[in-house]
Amino acid sequence: MAERIRFYLDEHVPAAVTEGLRRRGVDVLTVQEVGMRSVSDDNHLALALSQGRVIFTQDADFLRMHTAGAHHAGMVYAHQHTAVGEMIRGLMLIVEVLESADMIDHIEYVG
CATH number of the domain that residue 99 is part of: 3.40.50
Distance CA 13, CA 9 (A): 6
Total domains in the chain come to 1
Domain containing 17 equals 7-110
Distance CA 75, CA 64 (A): 12
Question: Does 59 fall in a domain?
Answer: yes
For the chain, give the mean pLDDT: 94
Residues constituting the chain: 111
Residues 13-36 pLDDT 10s: 999 999 999 999 999 999 999 988
3-state class (DSSP) for residue 97: helix
- pLDDT score recorded for residue 87: 97
Q: How many CB atoms lie within 10 A of CB 87?
A: 24
Q: What is the percent of the chain with per-residue pLDDT over 90, rounded to a whole number? A: 87
> What average pLDDT does the segment 95-100 reach?
96
Residue 107 is classified by DSSP as E
- The number of C-alpha atoms within 13 Å of 95 and in the hemisphere containing its C-beta is 20
For the chain, what is the radius of gyration of the CA atoms?
Answer: 13
Distance CA 4, CA 1 (A): 9
Reported pTM: 0.93
Distance CA 24, CA 64 (A): 31
Question: Does 1 fall in a domain?
Answer: no
